[in-house]
Amino acid sequence: MIYSVEIVKNRLFLEISVETVEGAAAAERGGADRIELCGNLPVGGVTPDALLMRSVREMVRIPIFAMIRPRAGDFVYSDAEFAEMKREIAIVKELSLDGVVLGILKMGRCVDVERTRELVEFARPLPVTFHRAFDEITELPEAVENVIQTGAKRILTSGGAKGALEGATVLFELIEAAGERIIIVPGAGISASNIRQIAPRTRAREFHSGLSAALPYSSHDYRRFEAEVKSLANELRLY
């Protein structure tokens, strides 16, 4: 089902994922509202090191959410990895960042409610986004309810699809089901070329992009990256 863009009345919110100081600065100049700061984006992002977090905090004024992911691969973590995630959250708080992005699953691909809730409580007062580990789960409506139980404020998801455009119908259904209880943030494959399709079809208020389809992670062309962010931000501002 296609919805008219006139549905979206208020200004929409853009989060951009980056892995360098230069990328963060370019995203801010381009009009991003928030940074998701990661290490090693080609593997989906891991926890950035403390030096990077400190440097980006000194460079940009917009909010910074740090990825908390101790390694690449699956999202079922050992006790040692769980303890490492707590240490990483403590560093984020010490460096005055604005939020964290994390996700823990159990064997069988379901939300680990208990341990995620423990990290949410540990992170307070910083808000927590449950990241795209969510898209590994089969029953997404049930997973939304589980994430809500953890106290997380947002879910970053493609609707279980390859990209947010392909998952737009499911994203709309998740947003409708979530109501005001949690913010569903569409992400994956979002760019200036498709946001006019994704935004009205999902009716989301916040969007996430790494712009990897427009600019490979290996590129260090930050002028072009800034331009791509600006194009995407401008498309959102039209709503």
Q: Mean pLDDT for each consecutive 10-residue tract of the chain (239 residues)?
A: 38 95 97 97 95 98 98 97 98 98 96 98 98 96 98 98 97 97 97 95 97 70 94 90
Q: What is the pLDDT of residue 71?
A: 97
Which CATH architecture best describes the domain 5-237?
A: Alpha-Beta Barrel (3.20)
pTM (2 d.p.): 0.92
Q: What is the pLDDT of residue 221?
A: 87
Query: What type of residue sits at position 194?
Result: N
Q: β-strands 110-111, 105-106: how paired?
A: antiparallel
Domain coordinates of the chain in residue numbers?
A: 5-237
Q: Is 18 helix (H, G, I), strand (E, B) or coil?
A: strand
Measured distance CA(27)–CA(195) in Å, rounded: 17
If you ran DSSP here, which 8-state letter would residue 46 be given? B
Q: How many CB atoms lie within 10 A of CB 141?
A: 11
Measured distance CA(77)–CA(94) in Å, rounded: 24
Phi, psi of 130 (to 5 degrees): -85, 120
Q: How many CB atoms lie within 10 A of CB 223?
A: 9
The pair of three-digit structure tokens given for residue 85, joined into one six-digit string: 């995630």
Measured distance CA(108)–CA(56) in Å, rounded: 37
Q: Residue 174: which residues within 8 A CB-CB, separation 6 or more?
A: 140, 141, 144, 155, 157, 159, 184
Q: Is 197 helix (H, G, I), strand (E, B) or coil?
A: helix
Q: What is the pLDDT of residue 216?
A: 65
